[in-house]
Amino acid sequence: MSGANVWTRSRERMKRLPELFAQCGPEATAYGKCVTATTSSKEELRKDLCIREFEALKTCILSAAKKTVK
């Protein structure tokens, strides 16, 4: 496997991210609001504080990616 092929495939997947996020607007908004609310009082973001919102966003993006596989 060539290193160039790995970077080409990765670059192609990264180019699709904005489209996938656009399909998951409500989930992305919920996650963003959770992160903002958690860190607004100068508290550092800690792992798993917004796990439900993150998992919902992750599930949505994976689902959208499967629908748009070329």
pTM across the whole model: 0.76
Q: What is the pLDDT of residue 57?
A: 96
Q: What is the pLDDT of residue 11?
A: 82
Among the listed residues 20, 28, 21, the one whose alpha carbon sits nearest the alpha carbon of residue 56 = 28
Count CA atoms closer than 13 A to 63's CA, side-chain side.
Answer: 10
Q: Taking a C-beta distance cutoff of 8 angstroms, is the pair 23, 60 a contact? A: yes
pLDDT: which is higher, 41 or 57: 57
Residue-wise pLDDT tens digits, 19-51: 888 999 999 999 999 999 888 777 787 888 899
For tokens 């180019």, what's the residue?
15
Q: What is the pLDDT of residue 51?
A: 95
